[in-house]
Structure 1
Amino acid sequence: MSYKRNFSKKITLHYSGSASVPAGQTSVNYSGSVSDTVYITIEVDTDSFDKGVHTCKSAVNGLTSSVAATEAAQIAAINQNAEKVGSTIISGFFNTIRLEIDQQIMELNSRIEATFLHLQELKKRCFEKQKQMERDYQSIAGRYLKIFEDLNHELANRIQLLDKPAFLFKEQCDQQQSRTMENDLATTVTVFGREEAALQAQISASLTKKRALETIGKANTFLLKQKQLEETIDKNMLKEQAQGTRYAPVCFIETQSAKNELDKEVFPCELLCEQDPKELLSGFQEKAWSNLPQEESNQISRFFNAELNQKYTQGDTHTTRVRERILKLLNFNHIKSL
């Protein structure tokens, strides 16, 4: 598109100099400035360029449309070919899988049929074994049943022989009972009533005697226990103004310092709180210390070993080492007693 541009600029020119006048032989200096405005108009003709741009634009648009059409055709061809390739691959894959599955199904069917036939044979054998075992069981059970029946008869006969008096007594009692119930004679009933009354009186008397003896025995036991309790209480109780001996634990410590100085201390329990520690200390110093007797040392050793085994029951390395160290430190020969 053609266009015009106007430009203007003011130009200023400075000048100076001197002039001589011959008549007077004098010189005159002069100076000044001249300014003028310059106007310039520029006209640009772009018609030919615009025509070229329009032509290029048309060519580019045509090229763009052709490229787009070519790209669309190429994409459509690629999609079509991809679909063909994909369908071919998928169909081939599924055909391969189908063939493999069919082969596996055929193999499994053959195995199942063979296994089923084998199971049928095993089933027949099991039924035969079951029938054979039932027959054997019946025969064995019959033999053992006969043996046990013979044993029962033999044991019954032996029991009757061993307890023959009891069985005879039972038979006589049954006969007496049947005689009293079945006989219609009045004298028989009277005699039986008299015998039964005497027998019941004897049984009642024996029961009374038995209960009386049990009561006397219980009373005797109670009185004996009461007597023992009273004697025990009398032994353990102290009467007023009575003298006795009381035992209480006391801790006596004797230490030796670095300067070989002996330091002795006594720590009594609460029962001896009224006792002066100095008196206890002097009492310890006056008495002679001696080694423990062998019997007491053995008793203490047994008790100590039992407590140690009960305390350290675990079998780990640390517990074993602690137990061995305690046993090494223990020495009953160094224990003194009064």
Structure 2
Amino acid sequence: MASFNYTVDTKPMAEEMRSVSRHVNATTGAVVAMQTAVIIAEEKAADHVCNNVNKGFYSLIRSQISQKMAKLQSEVDSHLMQLVQQKNALLSIKNRMQKDYNMIASRYIKLFNGLNSNLKQRVFELDKPTIDFAVKEVDKVSNRSKYLTATIPIAQLESLAASQKIVASNVKYRGFNVIKSMRSFLFEMNTQKKLTDQILINDGRYTETATVYIPIVICECNRDKTDAGVEISVSEVELDNISKSAIKNTAFAELNQIEWQAKSSPNTEVKSEFSKLVSSSSKSQRVKDMATKLFQSNNYQTI
């Protein structure tokens, strides 16, 4: 049997394997580097997309909020303008009410001052007899003991009778003056009573409940389509504010039951008063003619 001896050299193979290992390691490093670069790129791309999405979302929300703010700001501005107009209207009403109050207050102050003066004068006239009596007669009455003191001179017996006659005469004179004063006082009291009866009302009708008719004026006007104003004026009589308010409230309660009826021509007195107002006005003739024309062409209604 033949035998063969082979000698195998592994050095080239080892070198090739080493070269392959180096290439594999280089490839592995390249793959790892590429994977790292891909991950970084993906992270950057994701961050870029997220940033763009967030920016777009916030821009959209900001634009919607800005639109809502602009809309609400316009509404606030319009309401603010309306409130300013209402404020100016209320201030004008307040000023007009203050002027009316001052005018009415000055009128009533003048009226009450006149009433106070008249009542003061009447009270003085009523107390005048008492004051005169106190001034003229009270001093004499309080000093009656001094005036009626009998003075008897100490003299002889012959002059005693004459002294007694003088004392009796003095007493009679003082008594006559007292009677005269009483008569004058009673006469003045009777006169004062008659004067009081003429001033004061002594009638049973005015001490009981009665029905009294007072004229009022109801003025209805339409300043615009949504405002229908009704004003009630009470006659300027001696009534307190409570009575006037009760009359106005009763009239307002009866307004719903009032029915207006058409009338072909105005009342003669109304037409005459309007003509007087137009003729006495200081406006131009064209304005007067237009006012007269509108008055004649108007539709009249009455109750």
TM range (shorter): 0.3 to 0.5
Q: Give the structure with the larger helix fraction.
A: 2
**TM-score normalised per structure 2:** 0.37
Q: Give the structure with the larger strand fraction.
A: 1
